[in-house]
Structure formats: C-alpha cells, structure tokens
Structure 1
Amino acid sequence: MIVAGSGGTAMGRATSLLDGATAVDAARGLLHGRRIAVITGAGVSTDSGIPDYRGEGSEPRNPMTFQQFMASADARRRYWAGSHQGWRRFRAARPNPTHTLLADWERDGLLSGVVTQNVDGLHAAAGSSRLVELHGTMSQVVCTACGQMFAREDIAGRLLQDNPWLPGGDGELHPDGDAEVGDVSGMVVPSCTVCGGILKPDVVFFGEYVPVDRFALASDIVHAADALLIVGSSLAVNSAVRLLDRARRRRVPVVIVNRGATKGDAKADVRIEGGAAETLAALDPR
C-alpha cells in the first residue's frame, strides 16, 4: 500500500494528505511532459541486497569519520579490513528494476540526469550515463597526499597478497561498503606506490566535503530539469538537501518517494510512502 503526504503545489505549498492512488496520480501529473532530475539514495539499492542506513529495521551506527581514518593507523587497519569485505559483496551486487528503469528513462530523453548518494556503482552498471556519484565510488581508490587514482581491483590484490588471512566477505554489510570485522591487529594496509601516502576508497567519508566540481555537476543536472524526483533517500545528508533547495528556488515540482520520513517532506509537492521499484513503475511518465 502506497500512502503519501503532500506539501501542496509548486505555486504554494499548503499541507494536505493524499491516499496512495491519488498521490501517484498527482505525482504523474507533475512529472508528465517535464524533463526530470533524479536524486537517489540507499533505498534504491536495497532490492540488490545492499542495506539502507536509515530504513525500517536499520540499527543506529556511527561510521568512521574522515578525521578518525586519517589520525589513526589502527582505524585505517580496521576500515580497510571491513571495506575489503564490503567491496567484494558490492562487486557481486547487480542492478535492480529501479536502476534499469531510470536508465531506460534517460535513453528515452526523460531525464536531465541522475545524482546518486550511493557508492555501489549500480546506476552506472545499469546504463545511466548522465550520472553524478555525489559521494564517490567504491570502485576506485585515491591517495590522500598526491591524488593518484588506483583501480580497486589492484588494491584488493595487494591487500590479499599482504593479508592472505582476510575473510571472504561474510561480515555484516553496511551501505557504505564497510563490513563488521574481528581482530585486525596484523593487518597490512597498502600505501600509495607513487608517494607513499595514505590510500582511501574514493568515497566521501562522514566529516568530509563533497568535492566542489562534483557538486557543480550535480547542480547542473538539477538546473537543467523541469522537475525533481527524489527516490530512496531520507535526505539526512546536507548535499542532497542543498540540491532540493536549488530546485525549490526555481519553483519546479518536487516529488519524494521513500520508505519513512525525510528531511525534505515539508518542501515536496508530493511525498509518496513506498518502495522504489513499485512506485517508479507506477509513476512511469512514458
């Protein structure tokens, strides 16, 4: 059952409550004939077996911050051991109907692009090309000192060569590609082969800013659209809220689809409570 709260219309948001079918009809009316920018969060990847930080049943946790990672060799050992397990499972994940449908919409000329908060690479794997991975990607590793990029496959090979005892990815998986690990005191962490600097996956850690040029590309996608569709995100991260606010300033319609409340609910024209795949299928504007 899809239920929805609505924030009114783009011309004047008065709070009201819509039932599921009415909300979907209202959202389709707002999206039809418009070029759509899409922002996605972890809720679009749950059907691919990747958990959601904030969805129903998710346990509270405190991910490692960028400051902790940089300050402590022990923290880096723990992070890399867990991240290696998580990456192996991310790599095995496959796009689900939500990723595929959004790629189809793009090919049909309906989208200005997709901005994703996810680091799993599934939008790209599904064929989305006008894509900004706002928080980076687990498929690359960057040197924090010189900026040299490395393929994650190559770093994984070095990790296994130096740490053949690493488990095969059975720990509890988290949405950022990390996983629960045990004793890592003997972990050997790879360093940059160019300058010897500290390596980290090319993802935005908590406490780290989205690169300015990447946010500018995301803003371009939103600016080029006549409507904004936000799917599977609680909008708890400020970068996504800033994009929503840019759309509102342009007075374009905003539709939010999510399981659970979001920080943007009061700013939406239509808010639909529901899963990504079934709701997007119902919203298909073609």
Structure 2
Amino acid sequence: MTQVAENAAGTGELALLADLVSGGDVVVLSGAGLSTESGIPDYRGETGRRRRAEPMTYQAFTGSEAARRRYWARAHLGRRHMAAARPNAGHRAVAELQRRGLLAGIITQNVDGLHQAAGADGVIELHGSLDRVVCLGCGQRTPRGRLEARLRDANPGFEARAEAINPDGDAVIPDEAAAAFRVVPCERCGGVLKPDVVFFGENVPPARVRDCYALTGAAGALLVLGSSLAVLSGYRFVRHAARHGVPVAIVNRGATRGDEHAAVRLDAPLGATLTALLGELGR
C-alpha cells in the first residue's frame, strides 16, 4: 500500500522512508526538482508551470545553423547563472547517504553537476553534463570553460540581457541579439560543437542505459528524488525496479508518473525532507 504525505513529510512517512533506506544498497534517481532549491528552474514542477520554455531538440540543433547560433548565444549568457548555482541541502544529504555507505549508486537526470559539487562520486549522468562539449564531427570532448573563452573572444561586447533562464542552462534573449552571435567550430576538425547533453529527441547512449538497468534491478531500494517521471528515460527504471521486486520510494512536490509503483510516497520539499531523513537515520 502506498503511503502518501501531502505537502509535508509527516513523522510516520519519514519513519517508513528511513526504514527503507537503512537497509542499504539504495539507488538514487534524481530529477530537476532536486536542483530547484539551488535556483535552477525545471520544466514540469512548480517553476516549470510558470514558464512557457520550449527546450532545444536534437533535430533543430543539427538541422539549422540559425538554431545553433540561437542556442549558443542563449547558452553562453545562461552559463553565468548555471555556474553560480551551488548544491543545496538535498544534494548534500544524498552525498552524506553515500558517505554512510547506504547507496549502491546515484543516477541523475540533471546536467548541472551539483551532486558532484556536493561531494558525491560515481554519479551516472543519464542526460550528460553541461560542463562538457562534444564535436559532432570527430567526437572529441572538451571542457565547457574552453569553449566559453573562445566564444567571448569571438563575440567581444556581447551583453544581451536575459529575460529568463531555462532548465537546460540557456537564457531567453531577443532574437536580434542571438542572430548576431558568432559560433566557433571544433578546434580539431572544424566540426559542429554541441553541449555533451542528451537533447529532447536524442537517445541516451545504450551502454549508459544498460548500466542504469543493472543498478536498479539489483538495488535494495530505488529512491526517486525530485522527478515527475514524465519522461520515459527516467520512468523506465522505476518500472524495471518494480518488475524485479525492488521497493520504490518517491519524494517529490506533486504527483508523479511512477506513484502507482511506490511503496513510500512523500509530497514534500526535498531539502528539508532529506535533511530530516538523515536525522531519522542517525537515531
């Protein structure tokens, strides 16, 4: 029977979650809701419902030079906001759970690197990372910082004003500002550079998917944090865990696609709930 805590983590529900996590071998599956307390918006949660952002698709990026110019202009400006984000209490709690030896792995749908910044290691970045850039021609991966320096050199005086910041790290700016932006090619082969993230319409690398299936199928429990599970790329691992008899716990603001599979379900703030979980486990 699913246990649901509406709006706050009640004592009983928190105890159920602590009991599940205390058994160890827990796999964490985190989504954008875990990073909203760090100031990074999401597409489907509370911040997402207040915006009309349309994410860049792989087909648009690869099929149009104008789309790439618009993306990199917006991403170059939005990078400042993403780079300023810091881990919140939720990220720190996950890292602490790992330090206590209770986690078998961490899978994140986020591309912000905040799990690692909080001290977690061995994180599987399901959708890649904004800290890297990949060439679609030769496949070379380079640090995002190197590209940012080249873009600054190619666009002296570029100071468009951001109207909003999107979850994938780009800023909403006037079309005319984006149209004048100069994009730089791969230094090795002259090919098209793309952030090393999985765009909408693009597939997660098969080997990465297999690793996630292996982790979730063998877990003592699957703990979903801050994800509506609306996208199949994350939801499939909840279904996989359920098929293998792995108990699923979900902490998220609002309903999720995976609620029917949850043995424990808390509708509560991530940072406060995970901090309280650590306290419960420490008793």
Provide TM-score, normalisation by structure 2: 0.91
Which position in structure 2 is the counterpart of 1:238? Answer: 232
Q: CA deviation at 1:16?
A: 6.5
Q: In the alignment, residue 258 of structure 2 is paired with which amino acid?
A: G
Q: Does 1:68 align with 2:60?
A: yes
Which position in structure 1 is the counterpart of 2:26? Answer: 36
Counterpart Cα distance in 2 of 1:177 and 1:257: 24
Which position in structure 1 is the counterpart of 2:268? Answer: 274
Contact 1:38 1:228 in 2 (8 A): yes
Q: In the alignment, residue 71 of structure 1 is paired with which amino acid?
A: G
Q: In the alignment, residue 22 of structure 2 is paired with which amino acid?
A: H
Which position in structure 2 is the counterpart of 1:180? Answer: 172
Contact 1:144 1:198 in 2 (8 A): yes
SS at match of 1:64: coil
Counterpart Cα distance in 1 of 2:210 and 2:243: 16
Contact 2:5 2:267 in 1 (8 A): no
SS at match of 1:277: helix
Which position in structure 1 is the counterpart of 2:139? Answer: 147
Counterpart Cα distance in 2 of 1:274 and 1:168: 37
Which position in structure 2 is the counterpart of 1:101? Answer: 93
Contact 2:132 2:196 in 1 (8 A): yes
Which position in structure 2 is the counterpart of 1:47? Answer: 37
Counterpart Cα distance in 2 of 1:170 and 1:249: 45
Contact 2:3 2:263 in 1 (8 A): no
Counterpart Cα distance in 2 of 1:52 and 1:75: 22
Which position in structure 2 is the counterpart of 1:88? Answer: 80
**Runs of at least 5 residues in structure 1 that lack an aligned partner in the other structure:** 1-7, 9-14
Q: CA deviation at 1:120?
A: 0.5
Structure 1, 261-270 or 23-32: larger mean CA deviation: 23-32
Q: Does 1:117 align with 2:109?
A: yes
Q: Where do residues 10-21 of structure 1 align in structure 2 (5 Å cutoff)?
A: 20-21=10-11
Counterpart Cα distance in 2 of 1:171 and 1:82: 10
Which position in structure 2 is the counterpart of 1:5? Answer: none
Percent of matched pairs sharing the same residue: 48
1:165 to 149, 157, 172: 157
RMSD over aligned CA atoms reads 1.7
Contact 1:88 1:169 in 2 (8 A): no
Q: In the alignment, residue 227 of structure 1 is paired with which amino acid?
A: A
Counterpart Cα distance in 1 of 2:214 and 2:88: 26
Contact 1:142 1:148 in 2 (8 A): yes
Counterpart Cα distance in 1 of 2:273 and 2:214: 26
Which position in structure 1 is the counterpart of 2:125? Answer: 133
Counterpart Cα distance in 2 of 1:169 and 1:139: 23
Counterpart Cα distance in 2 of 1:109 and 1:164: 49
Q: In the alignment, residue 23 of structure 1 is paired with which amino acid?
A: E
Q: CA deviation at 1:188?
A: 1.1
Provide TM-score, normalisation by structure 1: 0.90
Q: In the alignment, residue 53 of structure 1 is paired with which amino acid?
A: Y
Counterpart Cα distance in 2 of 1:17 and 1:46: 22
Q: Does 1:27 align with 2:27?
A: no
Counterpart Cα distance in 1 of 2:87 and 2:31: 14
Counterpart Cα distance in 2 of 1:128 and 1:243: 21
Counterpart Cα distance in 2 of 1:281 and 1:133: 23
Counterpart Cα distance in 2 of 1:238 and 1:229: 17
1:189 to 172, 183, 187: 183
Q: CA deviation at 1:48?
A: 1.1
Which position in structure 2 is the counterpart of 1:12? Answer: none
1:264 to 248, 258, 262: 258
Which position in structure 1 is the counterpart of 2:196? Answer: 202
**Runs of at least 5 residues in structure 2 that lack an aligned partner in the other structure:** none
Structure 1 residues 41 and 17: alpha-carbon distance in aligned structure 2, compared to 1, 3 A threshold: closer
